[in-house]
A and B are shown apart, each in its own frame.
Chain A
Amino acid sequence: MNYVAVAIFVAALAVIAFEWVHRTKAALVGAGLVVAIGVIELEPAIDAVDWGTLGLLTGMMILVGLTERTGIFTYLALRTAQLSDGKPFRLIFLLAGITGLTSAFLDNLTAILLVVPITLLLADILRISPIPLVLVEVLASNIGGTATLIGDPPNIMIGTAVPELTFNDFIVNLAPVAIVTLAVVTTGLYFAFRRQLVVAPERVAELERLDPARDVRESRYVKRSIAVLVGTIVAFFLHAPLHIEPAVVALGGATILLLVASDDVEDALERVEWSTIFFFLGLFVMVGALEERGVIAEIADRLAEATGSTVGQGMAILWGAAAGSALVDNIPFTAAMIPVVEQLQADDDVFEDGLWWALALGACFGGNATLIAAAANVAAAGVLERNGRPISFGRFLAVGLPVTIVSLLVATVYLLLFQL
C-alpha cells in the first residue's frame, strides 16, 4: 500500500507538471483513488484536509473579490505607473514594489490577476512590450508573497498547519529577507529590461493625462470595502494575542464585507475560485494517505540521516523545496513537505522555527524558477496568451531561473546567519 500511495501521488504530480489534465481533476482523481483502493480510510482522509487553509483561502478570495469591484486596485496600479514618469528605473521598481506589497497582504495569485490586465493596457498606452513588465510583476509577486502568512499558498499552508507560527512571526522572519531579495532581483531585472522600456515623451504625457480615481469615485461601497479589508489585515496582526485562527480572521472579514458591502451573495460567492479550493482538498487527502502509510516518516528519517545537523536539514529543505517547486508546483510540494518538517521537528524537544522558514523561502522563491512552478505564473501566462502575447516556457525560464538562484543565495545567507 505504501508503494500505491507513492505511485498515485507521483502520478498526480506528473499530470499536474505536464498539464495533461486540469490540476484540480488530477488532485481529485488521486484523492478518490487513495480512498477507493483503501490506502486511507474515509474518516482519516477527511481529517487530513486542512480546513484552516481552505477557510483562509475562501475568506481572502471573497474579501479581495468584493474590494476589487471598487476599482481601488486599478487605481493603485495606474497611479503607480503615473508616478514613474515613464522612466524605466522608476517604472520597474514602482511596479515591483506595489505588486510585492499587494501580494504580501492579499495573495500573489489574486494580485497577478488584478495587475496583469491593467499592465497590458498601460503597455498599450506607453507603446512598449508588456512582457518585461508582466515578468517583473510575476517575479515580484512570488517574492512579495513570501513576506506574510497570507501572501503565498505555501505560507498559508505552513501558517495553518503550524499553530506556533503567528502572522507576526512570518512578517518578522520572512519580510526582511523578502524585501532584500526583491530589491536585489528588481535591480537585476532593471538591467535586463531597461532598453525595452524606453517610453516616448508624448506617451508619458498621455498616461499622465488619465484620471485614475474616476472609477473609484463612481463605485459604491468604496469606503466600507477598504475599511473592512484594512481591518482584516490589522486583525491578522492581532490574531495571536486575540487567540483567533487566521482562517477565522479571513472568513470573519469576508462575512462582514458581505453584510455591509454586497447586494448579491451569489455574485460575491462566485469570486471564490472553487477549482483551487478543490485542488487543495484533493492534495490534502493524497498527502494524508502518504502520512497514514508511514511514507512521510520514512522520508523525514532518511532526510535526517542524510543531512545530520539542523543546518544541513535547513539547506536541504530550502534548495530541495525550490527544486521540487520548480519542477512540479509549489503547492503540492509544500503539502507533501509540511508533514516531513513536522516529523523532523518531532525529534527535537524544543520547537525551532528555522526549518519552517527554510521551507517557506524554498517553496515561495522556487515558484519563480519555471512557468509552472507557481499558480501566479500560470495565471499571468494565461492572460498574456489570451491577448496574443504568449510567453514560452523557455523565455520564462531564462529570467526565472537566474532570479530563483539569486533569491536562494540571499535566503541561504539569511538562514545561515539568523535562523539555523
Chain B
Amino acid sequence: MRVVSDIELVPAWVPRHATFLQAAEMLVSHPVTAIAVLDDDGRVIGLFADSDLLLGVFPRYLAELRHTAFADDDTGLLDERARAVAGDPIVKHMHEPIVLDESTSATHAAERFLHCDHGALPVTREGRFVGMLGRAELCRAVLRRSR
C-alpha cells in the first residue's frame, strides 16, 4: 500500500509570504490539523499546525503554566493579541517540517505520526508538495481496504 496512490491528500498550504491570518483561515477551512508553508518552487519550508495557531492566538506563557483554572477570559487582551498577530509573517509562527515522500509506505507514515506531535504531515513528490496527509485519513484508508 503506497500513501499517495491509496489515500486522498488535502491541498492545504500557504506561500511563505502569507500572513498568520491567511494561514489560520487556510487551516480552519480544511479537514487537517496542519498545513504546509511553501517556497516559490513549491518546496515545503515549514509546517503550521493547530498548536501553532493556539500559541499565536493565546499567550505563549500558557505552555509554561500548569495551573490556570483561576483564569478568566480577558477578552480585551485576547482581541488585542489577535489583532497584533494577524499580520505577522507566517514564517515567524511555523516550525521545521517532517516530510513524507509519496513513495512512503503506510506503515512508515504511521510510525512518523506516532513520533511527532502533528496530526497531519506534508507529502512530496520529487521534493515538491503534493498534499497534506492526516492521521485519520491514513487509518481510514487502511480500515477501508481491510473491508
Q: A residues within 8 Å of B by Cβ?
A: 68-69, 71, 74-75, 78, 113, 116-118, 120-121, 124-125, 206, 209-215, 218-219, 383, 386-388
Of B64, B70, B77, which contacts A124 at CB under 8 A?
A: B77
Q: B residues within 8 Å of A by Cβ?
A: 59-61, 64-72, 74, 77
Does B61 contact A71, Cβ atoms closer than 8 Å? Answer: no
Q: Which residues of A contact B66 (CB under 8 A)?
A: 68-69, 71, 74
Does B61 contact A211, Cβ atoms closer than 8 Å? Answer: no
Does B61 contact A383, Cβ atoms closer than 8 Å? Answer: yes
Nearest B residue to A384 via CB reads B61
Of A120, A125, A214, which contacts B74 at CB under 8 A?
A: A125
Q: A121-B71, A125-B74, A214-B70 are in contact. Are A74 and B65 (CB under 8 A)?
A: yes
Q: How far is the CB of B87 from chain A (nearest CB, A)?
A: 15
Q: Which residues of B contact A213 (CB under 8 A)?
A: 70
Does B72 contact A121, Cβ atoms closer than 8 Å? Answer: no
Q: Which residues of B contact A210 (CB under 8 A)?
A: 70-72
Q: How far is the CB of B38 from chain A (nearest CB, A)?
A: 26
Q: A124-B74, A124-B77, A125-B74 are in contact. Are A218 and B69 (CB under 8 A)?
A: yes
Does B65 contact A211, Cβ atoms closer than 8 Å? Answer: no
Nearest B residue to A215 via CB reads B67
A211 to B70, CA, bound (A): 5
Nearest B residue to A117 via CB reads B64
A219 to B67, CA, bound (A): 9
Q: How far is the CB of A62 from chain B (nearest CB, A)?
A: 16
Q: Which residues of B contact A75 (CB under 8 A)?
A: 67
15 A–B pairs (Cβ distance < 8 Å), ordered by A: A71-B67, A71-B69, A74-B65, A74-B66, A74-B67, A117-B61, A117-B64, A124-B74, A206-B74, A209-B72, A214-B69, A214-B70, A215-B68, A219-B67, A386-B60
Q: A121-B71, A210-B71 are in contact. Are A383 and B59 (CB under 8 A)?
A: no
Nearest B residue to A218 via CB reads B69
Does A212 contact B65, Cβ atoms closer than 8 Å? Answer: no
Closest 7 CB pairs of A and B: A71-B67, A215-B67, A117-B64, A120-B61, A74-B67, A214-B69, A117-B61
A33 to B74, CA, bound (A): 54
In the complex, besides A74-B67, A214-B69, 20 extra interface pairs with C-beta distance below 8 angstroms are A68-B66, A71-B67, A71-B69, A113-B64, A116-B64, A117-B65, A120-B61, A121-B59, A125-B74, A210-B70, A211-B70, A212-B70, A213-B70, A215-B68, A215-B69, A219-B67, A383-B64, A387-B59, A387-B61, A388-B60
Does A121 contact B65, Cβ atoms closer than 8 Å? Answer: yes
A210 to B72, CA, bound (A): 8
A165 to B27, CA, bound (A): 61
A390 to B74, CA, bound (A): 23
Q: Which residues of A contact B64 (CB under 8 A)?
A: 113, 116-117, 383, 386
Nearest A residue to B60 via CB reads A387
A69 to B67, CA, bound (A): 8
Q: Which residues of B contact A386 (CB under 8 A)?
A: 60-61, 64
Q: How far is the CB of B67 from chain A (nearest CB, A)?
A: 4
Q: How far is the CB of A171 from chain B (nearest CB, A)?
A: 30
Q: Looking at A69, A212, A387, which has the most chain B CB atoms within 10 Å of its CB?
A: A387
Q: A125-B74, A383-B64 are in contact. Are A120 and B69 (CB under 8 A)?
A: no
Q: Which residues of B contact A113 (CB under 8 A)?
A: 64
